[in-house]
Amino acid sequence: MRTLRFLLQKEFRQIFRDAAIIRIIFMMPAVQLILLPLAADYEVKNIQMTVIDLDHSDYSQKLTNKITSSGYFKLSQYTGSYNAALKNIEKDQSDLILQIPAKFEKNLVRENESTLFIAVNAINGVKANLGAAYLQGIIRNYNSEVRLKWIQLPRFSPELNIETASSNWFNPHMNYQLFMVPGILVVLVTMVGSFLASLNIVREKEIGTIEQINVTPVHKYQFIIGKLIPFWVLGLLIMTIGFLIARFIYGISPTGSFLTIYAFAGVYLLAVLGLGLLISTFTTTQQQAMLLSFFLMMVFILLSGLYTSIDSMPEWAQWITRFNPVTYFIEVMRMVVLKGSNLADIKYHIFIVLGFAVFLNGWAIISYRKRS
Amino acid sequence: MKQFASFVKKEFHHILRDRRTMFILLFMPIAQIIIFGFALTNEVKNSRIAVLDNAKDADAASLITQIGKSNYFNIEQVLYTQRDIEKIFQKGKIKMVIVLPQNFGNDLQHFNHAQVQLIADASDPNVASTLTNYASAIIVDYQNRVTNDRKLPYTINTEVRMLYNPQGKGAYSFVPGVMAMVLMLVCTMMTAITVVREKEMGTMEVMLVSPVRPLKIIIAKAIPYLLLSMVNVASILLLSVFVLDVPINGSLTLLIAESILFTLTCLAFGLLISTVTDSQQTAMFISLTGMFLPTVMLSGFMFPIENMPLALQIISNIVPAKWFYIIVKNVMIKGTGFTIVWKETLILVVMLFALLGLAIKKFKIRLA
């Protein structure tokens, strides 16, 4: 116990003496947490639209007005040729082309039928699909208006109508920050924790001070625990700062209890730090350690479900996410913060992450050699 | 020149001798392109949903089948009471519940008007709105099919064409993004570390007392990483064409030239970081923790820039990855030429010289 205390004293001193690192550890997450959630908004709006109106009729005018007043679309250009419109898409000044053919009004009134042509820049498939769907919805609406003008519909309209009412639970105002802030906080805590841990032992190796520890009677497990605890404390500290930022800047406080989050975070940090220490025992230079942990982090973070939904990944990628501690924390964070889930709801998450922690730290202790 | 050549040789030795780093540097982009090319997609597929069917009639059943048949949804659970909805959301797997009211079929048959309620778990607003949209589209589709025999007058048809990416593949927008991200991070970090490392080890002193000019020392450090990055660019492009089926529609020469320009910009940025820091840890923290999230989030490949608040839109302009992403998207996927991307190219050139100038100005010939 006494040995451990001395080790801890050493580690804490080492961390707090490097003013540059301390500044970065605390400033960087804070700044990013303040700025980045504002950027995370997938919502498809502000779709730039080019209209090719070959009809120049009352109807085509009304249709264009109806579309631009919907709020989703902005008229970027009004032109007479398809080539000019395509050029606009190439220059990224426009996302979507609506072509109103000549005799649009005439055909609609005389032939009872008329066709509009829509072309969408589909490089971003989701935006394209939703944009086209919105536009078709508006056109359908316009269509009903036209019909109403021409025919007196019977009491029960022959247009079959299934009304869909949608409601959004847990986040009724569709506030993206409510969704992104907890997730980004997880990423920041994970990155700082794992990078610090992975660089730590390897730094002692590179500088040569590891030899000094190796000749002391310190046990392997004491050494690893001594490395683990300071970063664990730092990780929880960063998380607390993050929650303060979430509370005072975004006005987000968890629906569930902090106790649940911290209980999970405590276990989770052990797993992440264990991974870092494991990397540290396997590599010989800080450069290697950094690259390796960065590579793993990038995979973990991008496959964590923070940015893209896990359900839509292919089977094998979903399988990877099951071995990804970040996935579990992001899930827990969202469950507790947004839905108020309690300890019982997340018990599987805790057990799994606890398993990771035991496995990774155990492996780190075994693979750390006191002899080179 | 001979001195310079020997410096470049020294740097190559540094890199080639560290097999593990080499391996990670060359293998990382490959793994990333494969993982992200296949797995990263912001379309929503196979979402788990539940149904609360209060009607239990033929129309309700056929609507539910219609929804279950689509690729977007998997109906995983059938609920019996309103109260189950909250519980099931709290467990976290089910993303949406479709509620059919008691008289659904009756209303539909006799009044031509019925209601469906979609309740989405909006703790992920993106998924929620996408799911609601998809479900509404399927319901509209269903309703159109049922009305099909009653041909209505005054119908406006729409014909939709998807340009550049008719199958709506996620890889088309992610490959350019991952390319920008990988190059940005690898180049910036590696150069940042290499100079600081010499400082930390003390070997910088040795180089500074040599007759070689500091500018040459810096350039010598950058050259091997430039070559390494080119290998990465090549492997990324080969993989995207042959494995992910993302075509190179524009000129390959232009694409490679732009990649070299972007790589140089990143190298210059790395050098700047290395001149203002003195420990590898600090350098890595700035280049990774500081760069990773901004590159992912502000380059426009994850989140549309036009949706951001004005301040962030302005900040996003100083992220080099944003410009490179636009260039790659244009040249590679749209197949446009230099006339369309000259502005972005010019911005990168200006950034390159600004960063390089700053790095050289900050480069200290004497260590403290």
pLDDT of residue B339: 83
Listed by number, the residues of chain A in 282-301 with a beta carbon closer than 8 Å to a beta carbon of chain B are 283-288, 290-292, 294-295, 297-299
Mutate to test the interface with B, among A191, A204, A298 (most CBs of B within 10 A): A298
Confidence of residue A240 (pLDDT cuts 50, 70, 90): very high
Q: First-to-last CA distance in chain B?
A: 29
pLDDT of residue A353: 92
Per DSSP, chain B holds a count of helices (H) and strands (E) of: 15, 5
Tokens of B27: 């293998």
Q: What is the pTM of this model?
A: 0.78
Tokens of B194: 């290499």
Residue A371 has pLDDT above 70, yes or no: no
Residues of B in contact with A340 (CB under 8 A): 90
The mean-pLDDT minimum among B81-90, B160-169, B222-231 falls in B160-169
Residues of B in contact with A72 (CB under 8 A): none
Residue A155 has pLDDT above 60, yes or no: no
pLDDT of residue B120: 86
Confidence of residue B152 (pLDDT cuts 50, 70, 90): low
User: Does the ipTM surpass 0.85?
Assistant: no
Instruction: State percent of chain B over pLDDT 90.
Output: 7
Q: Which of B46, B122, B315 sits opposite A168 (nearest CB)?
A: B122
pLDDT of residue A110: 83
pLDDT of residue B59: 84
What CA–CA distance (Å, rounded) separates B51 from B57? 14
Mutate to test the interface with B, among A191, A199, A309, A327 (most CBs of B within 10 A): A309
Interchain pair B28, A291: CB under 8 A: yes
Give B51-72 pLDDT, tens digit per residue. 988 888 888 888 888 888 888 8
Residues of A in contact with B240 (CB under 8 A): none
Residues of A in contact with B139 (CB under 8 A): 162, 164
Q: What is the DSSP letter of A341?
A: -
Interchain pair A109, B154: CB under 8 A: yes
Confidence of residue B367 (pLDDT cuts 50, 70, 90): low
The mean-pLDDT minimum among A30-44, A81-95, B84-98, B245-259 falls in A30-44
pLDDT of residue A121: 84
User: Is residue B331 within 8 Å of residue B250, measured between CB atoms?
Assistant: yes
> A55 and chain B: CB distance < 8 Å anywhere?
no
Residue B336 has pLDDT above 60, yes or no: yes
Residues of B in contact with A148 (CB under 8 A): none
Confidence of residue B349 (pLDDT cuts 50, 70, 90): very high
What CA–CA distance (Å, rounded) separates B264 from A196? 29
Interchain pair A24, B285: CB under 8 A: yes
pLDDT of residue B354: 93
Mutate to test the interface with B, among A174, A257, A302 (most CBs of B within 10 A): A302
User: Is residue B151 within 8 Å of residue A111, measured between CB atoms?
Assistant: no
Mutate to test the interface with A, among B34, B38, B70, B281 (most CBs of A within 10 A): B281
Residue B368 has pLDDT above 60, yes or no: no
Count Cβ–Cβ pairs < 8 Å, chain A vs chain B.
383
Mean pLDDT of chain A: 83
What CA–CA distance (Å, rounded) separates B163 from B166? 6
| pLDDT average, residue stretch B211-223 | 80
Residue A157 has pLDDT above 70, yes or no: no
pLDDT of residue B360: 81
What CA–CA distance (Å, rounded) separates A143 from A115? 12
pLDDT of residue B366: 63
User: CA of B297, closest CA in chain A: separation in Å?
Assistant: 7
Interchain pair A122, B163: CB under 8 A: yes
Residue B31 has pLDDT above 90, yes or no: no
Neighbours of A75 (CB within 10 A): 15
Neighbours of B134 (CB within 10 A): 23
| pLDDT average, residue stretch B266-286 | 84
Residue bearing the bigger pLDDT, B331 or A157: B331
Q: Which of A32, A122, A127 sits opposite B164 (nearest CB)?
A: A122
Interchain pair B156, A114: CB under 8 A: yes
Identity (one letter) of the amino acid at B25?
A: L
Residues of B in contact with A136 (CB under 8 A): 158, 160
Give A264-323 pLDDT, tens digit per residue. 999 999 999 999 888 888 888 887 888 888 888 888 888 887 777 777 777 888 888 888
Q: Which residues of B176-188 are buried (b: 16+ CB within 10 A; e: fewer)?
A: bbbbbbbbbbbbb
B329: nearest CA partner in chain A? A123
Residue bearing the bigger pLDDT, B150 or B138: B138
Residues of B in contact with A46 (CB under 8 A): 304, 306-307
Q: Which of A128, A172, A317 sits opposite B168 (nearest CB)?
A: A128
CATH 3.40.1710.10 fits A47-150, yes or no: yes
Residue A67 has pLDDT above 70, yes or no: yes
Residues of B in contact with A20 (CB under 8 A): 277-279, 282
Residue B215 has pLDDT above 80, yes or no: no
What CA–CA distance (Å, rounded) separates A359 from B8? 44
Confidence of residue A156 (pLDDT cuts 50, 70, 90): low
How many CA atoms are closer than 13 Å to the CA of B183, on its beta-carbon side? Answer: 35
A285: enclosing H helix or E strand? none
Residue bearing the bigger pLDDT, B180 or B350: B350
| pLDDT average, residue stretch B75-96 | 83
Residue A153 has pLDDT above 70, yes or no: no
Nearest to A124 by CA among B25, B233, B300: B300
Neighbours of A362 (CB within 10 A): 14
Confidence of residue A154 (pLDDT cuts 50, 70, 90): low
Give B7-25 pLDDT, tens digit per residue. 888 888 888 887 877 888 8
User: CA of A253, closest CA in chain B: separation in Å?
Assistant: 14
Interchain pair B159, A126: CB under 8 A: no
Q: Where are the domains of chain A?
A: 2-40+175-367, 47-150
